Structure 1
Amino acid sequence: MTQTERIAEFANSVSFNAIPSATIDRLKLHLLDAIASFVWAQFQELPANVKKALTALSPDGIMPADHLAQLYTTYIRYPDFMDNFLAKESTCHPSDNIGILLAAGHLEEIQGKDFLTAMAIAYDVECRLTELFPVMIEGYDHTVLLSFSATAGAGRLLGLSREELTNALGIAGCSFNPVVTSRASYTSQWKGLVSSMVNAGCMNILSIAKQGITGPEKLFEIPEKGLNAIYKQHLDVDWSKEDFSIISRCSLKTFNAEVHAQSVLELISELAAAHRFAAGEIEQVDITTFLTAYHIIGNGEYGDRTVVYSKEQADHSLPYLAAVTILDKQVYPQQLIADRITSPDVQELLKKVKVHTGFPLHKPVKVAGMLDPYTSAYPDKVKCKVEIVLKDGKKISGEKETYKGFYSTPLTYEDVQQKFIKLNESYVDRESANRIFTLVSNLENASVKELLDAINFR
């Protein structure tokens, strides 16, 4: 069997009862976390503009399912406050899958058990592919892999046969190969919207495949022209052996910032609380981190992160995030608005933040990864060291290797409820919030329609 056939068979063979109860609880946690962003985004300008653009394509006012998949994914993705799965050479946002699964609820009557089953399938497929087929090392965006997981999960909900789903996976794999350029500095708004376009296309493809349109069965395996050859890798997974344990390695965010910054920001918060220094006393902030963090948010391969004037650049700039955490004691959406980003205090302080790895050489990557203790521990740990040098010569330092929300020290359901409330207290009353909390915690006994009714406010 080919890899697309195996993924299709896996997606169609899983039953709700076969998914461990601990995994179901973890999925509910991540679903509520995604819904917190989904609700908040409905009241923000950029997602509202996306909705306006998509509505303009639907003169009768009824948005088709592919556009809903795009809109719902925009809602979840835009805040950049969602979950992550970290692999040695790549990362992904498994909650990117949720938008298309919710959109499927406009096409079919879907029960909560079926939704959670599809969510487990999608999470497992994307995380496993991220671990074993890390396209980012070849310059492609991790949303390449979303095309397979979103298609598998939504295909299950929409009742595609194994043959139809195999075709859909082949078509999706040929059609969506975004490049990592959107994440490089200076980072644009498209960084947070790529996954929404992938999901729109996948919903469209599922409808086409259901009508018998075929795609390449040997998508990965075709010599020279298959994905194995194109990405210079080899995918050989026995999907029948997946037990969903990989989902327990997904992490959530405490700070509204890129995932690799989380342990640094938590450490800075702890140091600031313990030593109570003022920002004006700081001479320099030295941050030691692992290679992936350095490259993406610390002035490495993804470019200069010291020029910061927009949300998208700010939440991917470790110098900015460190500075604003020192000043504001938190990173939430209010730290990512233009007025805060351009304030003289944070602009001056971010220039004092220096980021480096634990080993001075960064190439060859495999050698650097072995010699640098911070990099060698990743992704099982997210080690960092922060040293704050004050103008009077005093040095304040500490180290961390995890953070609250990392998979080894996860947030609780109550923690995510508080995150929801903090994000949305200006927009949603407590009665509406409690309704959402109850629905998600008991989703196996509810329907997707009930959930959609509860979370759509605009």
Structure 2
Amino acid sequence: MTTPTFQDLGFDLANFSVDARYESIPADAVDAAKKSLLDLIGVTLAASGVEPVARTVIDVVRENGGRPESSVLGFADRVPAAWAAFANGAMAHCLDFDDLTPWGAHATSSILPAAFAIAERQGGVSGREMITAIAVGQDIFARMRRNIDWRKDWNISTVLGVFAATAAAGRLLGLSRTQMANALSVASMQSAGTMDVVYGIGGDLRCIYAGFSAKAAVVAALLAEKGVVGTQTAFEGEYGFFKTYFGGRYDRENLLKGLGSDYTGNTTLYKPWPAVGPSHSHIYATIQLVTANNLRPEDIEEIRVHVGDYHEIMCSPLDSRRAPATLVDAKFSLPFLVAVAAVRRDVTIADFTGNALQSPEVLAVSKKVIPIADPAFDWKMELPLGQVEIIARDGRRLSQIGTKVPGSPEAPMSWENIVRKFANCAALAATPPSAGQIEKVQQMVRQLESLDDVTELLRCLA
């Protein structure tokens, strides 16, 4: 009798990535892939025009130059595929406006820049193939996100994003099962990023981190195509991914359950506001309170925000969070975000551009925001809720927990919402497309499965 040979989970993911067929993907996962594509192109275009660090990234990409294989959104540049993935990935998360899972973390800002870079390099990639690649990547990301023991130490968006993006890029590159397994192993060499880039104050890395995982995915896929061989135990070996990053705490059975039939990308959420996901419940509760009670900034004596463990990080150090020094920090500063919501009754890209951080009205209200530790709002798995209590100058005490938040599973964004968001974002690009171009791209994405060459989308924006 021979002892069965253990197969590393990486081979299961590789086989799934290669064997997936458009016809087998449920309609809601197809719809999610198309929504993600339109949404991400939009937020990337907006970042090209309004986020200063995007220009720095483009300068570095231009300096490295090379074969004109793939497009940089918002600009006229065509650069090698890996550098295009880096540029577009960096811009994709710049505004913290990209999609996310119901459990937090961002998949598509790694997946789509890598996929588009390879699609342009290859040429002739159909809309159906692009949908399949995105759906595969989103499914892998969601499965891993839900079935690991994350302690909020690693930056899951990049640590997992590189594998999801590699699967999508490798599929469009036409890798075999063996090559795909090798690509995922190569990707493990580039699976990186700690939560310091998210929690820290004053840096740009939180803004551009998806560029690193997108670029790494293209490099991994191209190396595997050329014959680079990975290890056989990249994920589950004694020194592999799961033990090294998560102490071996993962649910293998659930991770693989329904693989190839249940596409979990259908859970993807889309943001109505350009701010970190765990702030949205507080933002919505604040908007509801000031709108329903017609509160002006001068009517507010104090705003108490009940915060869980993750929210507390967004409030510390409190003085810096109340008056963030950078556009990047502002999107992660709960007191500032709540103040914007109280003053504007909305949160838009304009609140994080130009001199918006110096708004006297917003800063005055931000000083009135007081965090109250409340373990009821700790982040367990799903994105945490938040409670806002406003003390009015006339003595009223108004309280609201932000439930059924726009963009949440209970109140998902419709196609109409996504289309409107795309148009608003695209208009802010470094080189804004015309109204006709915007309309045409919207229509093309809605009918993506009928495109013979998905790069028509990018040519339409050029």
* TM-score, length basis structure 2: 0.88
Name 2:268's counterpart in structure 1.
250
> Once the 2 structures are TM-superposed, how far is the Cα of residue 303 of structure 1 from its aligned partner?
11
Q: Distance in 2 between matches of 1:106 and 1:248?
A: 26
Q: 1:194 to 1:278 in 2, by over 3 A?
A: same
Name 1:47's counterpart in structure 2.
54
- 1:317 matches 2:309: no
SS of 2:372's equivalent in the other structure is strand
SS of 1:354's equivalent in the other structure is strand
Name 1:282's counterpart in structure 2.
300
Name 1:354's counterpart in structure 2.
370
Match of 1:299 among 316, 319, 329: 316
- 1:129 matches 2:135: no
SS of 2:303's equivalent in the other structure is strand
Which residues in structure 2 correspond to 1:309-458 (within 5 Å)?
Answer: 309-359=325-375, 372=376, 374-375=377-378, 379-380=381-382, 382-425=384-427, 427-446=432-451, 447-455=453-461, 457=462
Name 1:9's counterpart in structure 2.
15
Q: 1:429 to 1:313 in 2, by over 3 A?
A: same
Match of 2:27 among 18, 21, 46: 21
Give the counterpart letter for 1:51 in structure 2: I
Q: 1:240 to 1:113 in 2, by over 3 A?
A: farther
How many residues align? The count is 437
Q: 1:19 to 1:78 in 2, by over 3 A?
A: same
Cα deviation code 1:333-389 (max 9, x no counterpart): 110125111222222221211223433xxxxxxxxxxxx2x348x645743221111
Q: Do 2:102 and 2:408's aligned partners in 1 also have CA atoms closer than 8 Å? A: no
> Once the 2 structures are TM-superposed, how far is the Cα of residue 126 of structure 1 from its aligned partner?
0.9
Which residues in structure 2 correspond to 1:30-69 (within 5 Å)?
Answer: 30-44=36-50, 45-58=52-65, 63-69=79-85
Cα deviation code 1:402-458 (max 9, x no counterpart): 311112311110111111223334533321111011010000011211111123x4x
Match of 1:268 among 286, 291, 297: 286
Which residues in structure 2 correspond to 1:80-229 (within 5 Å)?
Answer: 80-87=96-103, 91-108=105-122, 109-135=124-150, 137-223=152-238, 225-229=239-243
Give the counterpart letter for 2:330 in structure 1: A
Q: 1:140 to 1:422 in 2, by over 3 A?
A: closer
SS of 2:237's equivalent in the other structure is coil
Q: Do 1:187 and 1:313's aligned partners in 2 also have CA atoms closer than 8 Å? A: yes
Give the counterpart letter for 2:169 in structure 1: A
Q: Do 1:130 and 1:142's aligned partners in 2 also have CA atoms closer than 8 Å? A: no
SS of 1:432's equivalent in the other structure is helix
> Once the 2 structures are TM-superposed, how far is the Cα of residue 80 of structure 1 from its aligned partner?
1.3
Q: Do 1:143 and 1:198's aligned partners in 2 also have CA atoms closer than 8 Å? A: yes
Q: 1:247 to 1:59 in 2, by over 3 A?
A: closer
Q: Distance in 1 between matches of 2:118 and 2:67?
A: 20
Q: Distance in 1 between matches of 2:162 and 2:65?
A: 24
Q: Do 2:327 and 2:352's aligned partners in 1 also have CA atoms closer than 8 Å? A: yes
Q: Distance in 1 between matches of 2:169 and 2:315?
A: 36
Q: 1:76 to 1:342 in 2, by over 3 A?
A: same
Cα deviation code 1:135-176 (max 9, x no counterpart): 553445431111111111110110111111111111111233
Q: Distance in 2 between matches of 1:336 and 1:20?
A: 38
Q: Distance in 2 between matches of 1:304 and 1:133?
A: 33
> Once the 2 structures are TM-superposed, how far is the Cα of residue 204 of structure 1 from its aligned partner?
1.4
Give the counterpart letter for 1:252 in structure 2: Y
> Once the 2 structures are TM-superposed, how far is the Cα of residue 293 of structure 1 from its aligned partner?
3.1
Farther-moved stretch of structure 1 (248-257 vs 426-435): 426-435
Q: Do 1:263 and 1:400's aligned partners in 2 also have CA atoms closer than 8 Å? A: yes
Q: Distance in 2 between matches of 1:141 and 1:413?
A: 28
SS of 2:438's equivalent in the other structure is helix
Name 2:75's counterpart in structure 1.
none
User: What 5-or-longer segments of structure 1 have no aligned partner?
Assistant: 360-371
> Once the 2 structures are TM-superposed, how far is the Cα of residue 57 of structure 1 from its aligned partner?
0.8
User: What 5-or-longer segments of structure 2 have no aligned partner?
Assistant: 1-6, 69-77
- 1:241 matches 2:255: no
> Once the 2 structures are TM-superposed, how far is the Cα of residue 103 of structure 1 from its aligned partner?
0.7
Cα deviation code 1:18-60 (max 9, x no counterpart): 0011211122122211121122223234323312211111167
Name 1:79's counterpart in structure 2.
95
Q: Do 1:136 and 1:180's aligned partners in 2 also have CA atoms closer than 8 Å? A: no
SS of 2:120's equivalent in the other structure is coil
> Once the 2 structures are TM-superposed, how far is the Cα of residue 307 of structure 1 from its aligned partner?
4.2
Q: Do 1:249 and 1:408's aligned partners in 2 also have CA atoms closer than 8 Å? A: no
Give the counterpart letter for 1:241 in structure 2: G
Q: 1:149 to 1:241 in 2, by over 3 A?
A: same
SS of 1:81's equivalent in the other structure is coil
